[in-house]
Amino acid sequence: MYEQVSHALLNDILDDLSHQVVREDLRHFYTRLGANFYAIHSLFEHLYGHREDFKEQITRLTERLARAYIDRPESLRQIDMEREENHNWFLSQEWTGMALYLDGFAGNLQGLTKRLSYLQELGVNMVHVMPILRCPQGASDGGYAVSDFRNIDSRAGSVDDISELTEAMHKRGMLLTLDVVVNHTSNEHAWAQQACAGDKTYQDFYYVFPNRDVPDMFEETLPEIFPETAPGNFTWNDQMERWVMTVFNTYQWDLNYSNPSVFIEMVDIILFWANQGADIVRLDAVAFLWKKIGTTSQNEREAHLILQLMKDCCQVVAPGVLFIAEAIVAPSEIIKYFGEDAVIAKECEIAYNATFMALLWDAVATKNAKLLNQGIKSLPLKLDRATWLNYIRCHDDIGLGFDDADIHACDYDPYAHRHFLIKWFTGAFEGSPARGRPFGVNHKTGDARIAGALASLAGLESALETQDQEAIDHAVNLILTLHGMIMSFGGIPLIWYGDEIGTLNDSSFLDDVNKAGDARWIHRPRIDWHRAERRHEQGSVEQRLFDGLKRMIEARKRTPAFADFNNRELVDVSNPHLFAFLRTHPTMLTSSVLVVANFDATPQYLDLEQLSNRGVFRYGLLQDVITGDSPAVFNNRVIIPPFHFYWLANQRARSML
């Protein structure tokens, strides 16, 4: 009966559309709309079915989808059809990404187009351009306080420059990732300005309250995101004489998704950027989309329904476009952003593997893989047609959100262990070579997060200061080992710009009054292209890192076992300093690769007898997939040098193919 209701409503909407839209080929649109409308109607009804204007609102949504499809360039429609036929295309091992701030990397969009050859030289074929939409100067939160969702910062270029960039990238077989900040707007956005002027329609786009009654009820359970710089979750607006929900910063107003007009506008914005050529849309702060008194207002069921609805709408207009869920939450929660009770992703196809990132940094500080191994065992399996985005550094801080049960299982005290990590990475622990800074310090709880460039956190900065060659070698090897893990774990590796040449902390942000209070700017560099040229100087740090990553990416692309089909098996080894796992392609079993990393400052060994039934690695000629060299083996034990890793394959087994 319910399906009949949605079918009848769809017919009414299509009849109306046929009068509005003439001389347009909408065959693919109608086919996809018919295939997805039952799900769209069901979700929209669940969220907004109690409203008297439900039919009017879902009709508006469908009309927006039709307009977006009509606006979609033919070249992008062709890409959609190709990806529909090869629906696992993004699970391939061929993809390697880089995230970058446009001004720090290339100045503007035209500059980035000119730098594509540099990215190709490295092997990068997916580029995440950090948000470049219009934001108020001095209150932009690094691009995440958007004042105009359809125009970019004039310093970056124009929307036409985006189209030219995507055309150049697609010719080179590269993918473009762009952000849509779905949780909030700047207080200078037109919607917020109209709300300030007293327009009730736009006040309903946000959470606005005349007094502290409701805000105080929220505050009882809402955590503070930035307790140092933006304590609390509500801000008084003098012009409206109202309290506004501002979970992140006082100038970022949270959008009210209980209003269907907000949902429709944001879907339209996502499709707008899809039509400019974005292959992947990163949805920012998705965990916060639904607010509910008495909860943390994170990871609510309705937030997942909103994402499902966004995905279904995108499937109608631009099915070749992927979503990234930016949700830095517990492993048991992050897995839900792929979609529950499904085989293929019904929310976002890609999610940040923040757990793996944090666990890798724990291994760096402790020089053992105990918590890393324990934490990976607790990482839930993802859906088949979904993948991780694996990274070491990004624009944000390093959080220490490990599961306390995992920390206890490693015989650590959770509070003491986190405190040790903060001291280690900020250089406050005796003997630590790290040069990070604390971020987001909560003086009430003692919690903090960590900011800093990869090279500085890994000890390269301090090693270069003292010109200690052994320390430099260790830092370079550690940086490559960390990348070796994200390249082989399963998913899309994402390099942070500058890490490929060992870019250090940039403290110049302290001279900018608009940035000095945010320590994360220390690892948001402006690339020194003269230094980047040293990648051609044999033996330089830049050359060792750049060429090491380049060889790694090349090897990854030619290794089918690194495609992401839930084909990773953690290997239990008795040596606590080692992290080891097996990658096996589901249809090419003899192409298996054994990945092993040593996080200690001394050589360690892997006993091949401990590989149990994985006999393919117990005998025969082991070779490193990257270099082609054979590791040192003594008494059936593989020797792994300090801060080193191997991707090992049995060449005898491979030769039998």
pLDDT of residue 361: 98
Contact 209, 240 (CB under 8 A): no
Start-to-end CA distance of the chain, whole Å, equals 55
pLDDT of residue 20: 64
Cα–Cα distance for residue pair 147/103, rounded to 1 Å = 19
Which comes out higher in pLDDT, residue 17 or 38?
38
Cα–Cα distance for residue pair 450/453, rounded to 1 Å = 10
Q: 331 pLDDT exceeds 90?
A: no
Confidence of residue 19 (pLDDT cuts 50, 70, 90): low
pLDDT of residue 28: 87
Contact 603, 641 (CB under 8 A): yes
- Catalytic choice (80, 326, 500, 600): 326
pLDDT in tens, 542-554: 999 999 999 999 9
3-state secondary structure of 36: helix
199 is known as an active-site residue: no
Q: What's the one-letter identity of residue 321?
A: V
Q: 589 pLDDT exceeds 80?
A: no
Q: 214 pLDDT exceeds 60?
A: yes
pLDDT of residue 603: 98
- Catalytic choice (141, 284, 396, 397): 284
Q: What angle do CA 574, 571, 388 make, to 5 degrees?
A: 135
Cα–Cα distance for residue pair 13/28, rounded to 1 Å = 17
Contact 109, 308 (CB under 8 A): no
> For residue 230, what are its two tokens?
């933006």
Contact 256, 205 (CB under 8 A): yes
pLDDT of residue 590: 72
pLDDT in tens, 242-283: 999 999 999 999 999 999 999 999 999 999 999 999 999 999
Most confident of 227-231, 331-335, 637-641: 637-641
3-state secondary structure of 554: helix
Cα–Cα distance for residue pair 381/12, rounded to 1 Å = 42
Instruction: Note the pTM of the prediction, 2 decimals.
Output: 0.95
Confidence of residue 657 (pLDDT cuts 50, 70, 90): very low
Contact 598, 643 (CB under 8 A): yes
Cα–Cα distance for residue pair 439/450, rounded to 1 Å = 5
Q: 334 pLDDT exceeds 60?
A: yes
Write down the residue that tokens 């006082």 correspond to: 250
pLDDT in tens, 445-474: 888 999 999 999 999 999 999 999 999 999
Cα–Cα distance for residue pair 186/191, rounded to 1 Å = 9
> For residue 283, what are its two tokens?
């949805």
Question: Of 425, 379, 376, which Cα lies nearest the Cα of 400?
Answer: 425
pLDDT in tens, 518-531: 999 999 999 999 99
Which comes out higher in pLDDT, residue 19 or 303?
303
Q: 60 pLDDT exceeds 70?
A: yes
| Sequence-separated (6 or more) residues with CB below 8 Å from residue 474 | 459, 463, 601, 642, 643
Segment 617-629 shows an average pLDDT of 84
Contact 542, 502 (CB under 8 A): yes
326 is known as an active-site residue: yes
| Sequence-separated (6 or more) residues with CB below 8 Å from residue 117 | none
pLDDT in tens, 158-176: 999 999 999 999 999 999 9
Q: 1 pLDDT exceeds 50?
A: no
pLDDT of residue 605: 96
CA distances from 83 to 75, 404, 492 (A): 13, 41, 17
Q: 10 pLDDT exceeds 90?
A: no
Segment 307-333 shows an average pLDDT of 95
Q: Which helix (H) or strand (E) holds 357?
A: helix 354-366
Q: 22 pLDDT exceeds 80?
A: no
Mean pLDDT of the chain: 94
CA distances from 379 to 134, 195, 285, 331, 376 (A): 37, 43, 21, 6, 5
Cα–Cα distance for residue pair 331/318, rounded to 1 Å = 29
Task: Write the DSSP assignment of 261-318 as a string of letters.
Answer: HHHHHHHHHHHHHHHTT-SEEEEETGGGS---TTS-SSS-HHHHHHHHHHHHHHHHH-
Q: 326 pLDDT exceeds 70?
A: yes
Supply φ then ψ for residue 290, to 5 degrees.
-125, 125
